[in-house]
Amino acid sequence: MWNLEWKYWRAVELLKRTPIQYQKYLYDVENKPPKPVHFIPKEKLFTRDPVTGQKKCLENRVIPLIFPIQCNLGLWGGEGIIKGLIKGPKYKDPRIPKMWFPTLRRAVIYSEILDKRMKFTVTFRALNLIDEAHGLDFYILKTDPVDLRSQLAMDLRRIMLLTLVRKEMYPDDPEKRDKIYEKYKEFVIPEEEAEWIGLSVRAACVKQQKIEIEAQRDVQLPLKMGYRSEFFQKLKEKKESEVTEQKTENWLSKIKSVTSFK
């Protein structure tokens, strides 16, 4: 138990030292409300009863969704699992628990930036959103992380941004590389910032820890510390040499005493 608590607080301290852009990303993912998928939001706050004319308040109640681990391995378009109740067959029967799952299918989608065809699990809503965005690349780069709801999508976004900023697409075709760069140049960000896009908490902690370890290696020790360690090393060597000399003198004295006795 103590080990788990230590790991938790260690992760919290590491996350506090990550770049501001990554901290903002984590805050938005946890607190920013996603676009409604399973209900139509009401634009008006109030309405009037057509019979009595009484003013009534309208509420936009968000349907709670369940996002399993499998949603991180595909593109679900913000859809999730809905857990609810349905009426029984008879009037007085208790309500029956029911879960509604999104319709999943395997699809092959082409990425223009990466020049690859990738096969993964998608929903029909995700395919429609990709068509509306005119391609997978625009869908991944334009959509808010809260609406993507997929670690795979965030990994693709990071790889796409790094490929753009490094200009690694189409190495054998410079003309097409420049054309693709001009097409997506509005999404280009600094490489240091792109490396943190969409990282999981665990991956971000590991990355931050590696950065701090490398920074400690590069820090030059003060001259005072260097001279002190050098002085201690000389004292240690001097002490060892004195011990060896003393041992040799003892052996020589013993040999002399034996020869004189004879």
- Rounded to 10°, the helix 2-16/201-218 angle is 70
- Maximum Cα–Cα distance for the chain, whole Å? 135
Q: Could you tell me the strand order of the sheet in which 104-111 lies?
A: 74-75, 116-123, 104-111
Q: Which pLDDT score is estimated for 218?
A: 65
Give residue for tokens 């030059």: 220
Rounded Cα–Cα distance for residues 19 and 115 (Å):
30
- 207 falls within a domain: no
Burial bucket for residue 136 (CB in 10 Å: 0-12, 13-18, 19+): buried
* Tens-digit pLDDT profile for residues 95-154: 889 999 999 999 999 999 999 999 999 999 999 999 999 999 999 999 999 999 999 999
* Residue 178 scores a pLDDT above 60: yes
- pLDDT, tens digit, 9 for 90 and up, residues 69-106: 999 999 999 999 999 888 888 877 888 899 999 999 99
Distance CA 153, CA 120 (A): 11
Domain contains 199: no
| Residue 7 confidence class, pLDDT cut points 50, 70, 90 | low
pLDDT digits (tens, 9 = 90+) for 187-210: 999 999 999 999 998 899 889 989
Say if strands 96-100 and 81-86 run parallel, antiparallel, or are unpaired: antiparallel
14 domain residue, yes or no: no
Handedness of CA 232, 233, 234, 237 (dihedral sign): positive
* Confidence at 254, pLDDT banded by 50, 70, 90: low
Instruction: Please check whether residue 233 lies inside any domain of the structure.
Output: no
Structural domain of 147: 33-189
Mean pLDDT of the chain: 85
Task: State yes or no: pLDDT of 262 exceeds 60.
Answer: no
H or E segment at 107?
strand 104-111
Q: Tell me how far CA of residue 227 lies from CA of 33, 41, 149, 216, 233, in angstroms.
A: 58, 71, 56, 20, 10
Would 248 be classed as within a structural domain? no
**Does position 255 have pLDDT exceeding 50, yes or no?**
yes
Q: Which residues sit opposite 111 in a β-bridge?
A: 116
- Answer yes or no: is 198 within a domain: no
Identify the pLDDT of residue 5: 44
Answer yes or no: is 105 within a domain. Answer: yes
> Given a cut of 50, is residue 4 above it in pLDDT?
no
Number of structural domains in the chain:
1
Distance CA 83, CA 99 (A): 5
Residue 142 lies in a domain: yes
pLDDT surpassing 60 at residue 222: yes
